Structure 1
Amino acid sequence: MKKALSIFLLFTILVLSACSNTTIQQKSEKDGNEPTETELSWLEILEVNSQENYSAQNFFETYSQYIDQFTSTKAKNMANEMYNKVVQHLITSKDHKRLYFLYTEGFINHKEVLSKDLVKNVNQIVADVKKEEDAKKEKIKSILSIIDNGNFDSLHSYTDDTLEKETLDSLLSYGYAIEELQKNGETNHFFDLLLSINPMYQGEKNKEIAAFVTKYVALDEWKEKYIVRVNNKIMNQEYKADQVKNIPLEIGMSKQEVIHSAWGKPRQIKIFPTEQGVSEQWVYSDIKHLTFDNNELTGWQE
């Protein structure tokens, strides 16, 4: 009897121990997988920063700040999904230069959490943009070489649509300023050329260019007057655009002139052959239309 009781007690202890271990294991798994309140708050911050209208750089910085502090597997997975989402958005929005910058500057430094397809796409984009950037650097070196050699005739005929306009304009103005200084000295035109150079230019020989400009113009004055020039240029462009929109219709106008007038492009074009050639009716609404005969405006109704 005692032996049977001992066996029963031993069996009971083993069962209770097993149940206890299972409960502890389940609790441990739950604790390891479910995000804590703090982790949920971190995930909320990441979610906000992952939105399309927020800075991707902010997201990657925040991710790097929190990711190693997560203890919950579920929280880490959620953060990693957001990481993939932000990178995917940079790719689908074709913001390749931004992606290249974030990658080369070390902001995208957790490639291990990206899907294989994203890693492949990122590597390809980075390689393509690097190739473009290297080509631009070579072109900039070529322009500076022309300037250094004093080959100003080549400089005046230089054109390139792959370089950023501000970069190209700054380099050309730098070369033209050197030419003007050598030929005519410190003229008003020389100073105008200096002030056409972007003080924020950070490309090849940027320190040398800045030293050249500040030899004749104080840095603060350079920055201030450059901003004024840019703002005036923008205002002038806006003014011209407004002036174009306010051009009234006149008999004899060409189609292009009408398009650039307040009427703009039509909703529909109807073409009618005539004895004199071709007549076109440009329809803007049920009652608003104009007529071209042989490509010249001959009348309108509004």
Structure 2
Amino acid sequence: MIKVKHFTIGIGLLLILSACSGEKTVKEDNESKIEAEILTLETLLKEKKYEDLLIKMETIDLSESETDKVRAVGTKFVDQLIQEKNFEFLDSKYNRMRINLNRDDWTKVVKFVEQEKELRLDEMEQAVRNNDFQKVQELYDHAKGLEDNADFSAMYKYAQYLQTDQNSYEASGALALAVDPEYHGRMREEIVAGITNTSYASPLTFGPISLDDWNWIEREYRNNLFTMERISNAEKERKEKIESARGSNPSLGMTYEEVLASLWGEPYDVNRTVTEYGTYEQWVYGNGQYLYFEDGILTSFQD
């Protein structure tokens, strides 16, 4: 009985030791996996493969308790980019980086980006004021991160105005079209003076442009842009429908062009009726096949 008891205890101890050993192995494997992932991040950072590093940080599969290790790499990432003054990358990616950064690093990124933007705006303004138009163009051509900045764009447009015959309705009008009347950023006073320039005032010419005119010009310009965009979208949709009709039979709702592009193609004959209520057409294809249109839209058929 004693031997059996000792045997049972021995088996129990072996099971416990085996379980502990299994847990230790799983833990060691997990730690090795984490170390490998962090090493990959460190390597990408060292090789300056910043886009790959960002993707890896976004997709790395670690538990909540292990995210500090990723954020530690994130700190090195931010410091390296700031040291390099890599404004373009930080400005275009910092929203994506935010999830893997701690609050202090995120604050550093935002502060750096804003400071660099101001420095670039200062540089553009100084170049415009100095009439250094070659420098202005260089800054504009390499304006990554500032393409949609209202101040940057307005100063560039003003520099273009300064390089033309400023004392003309055409120059003032072009500047009025280029800058929104709601703009109240850098060099606003100079831009307004250019738009409302009175030096060319003459009974034989247009102008000068007033602030009210500026607002009217902007409204008309935007309305025309909207109209042109709507026309362009409608034309694109029309062509897409014609293309989709090719190789298929006519279906209700098709236009003349879509039916002509379909398998039925041109009719043998067309019978047209016009009344005060609209225009009606019967397209005859033979073999008892007919299509019926109301005001250019296929409404019924017979086959």
Tell me the TM-score normalized by structure 2. 0.38
- Using the size of structure 1 for normalisation, the TM-score is 0.38
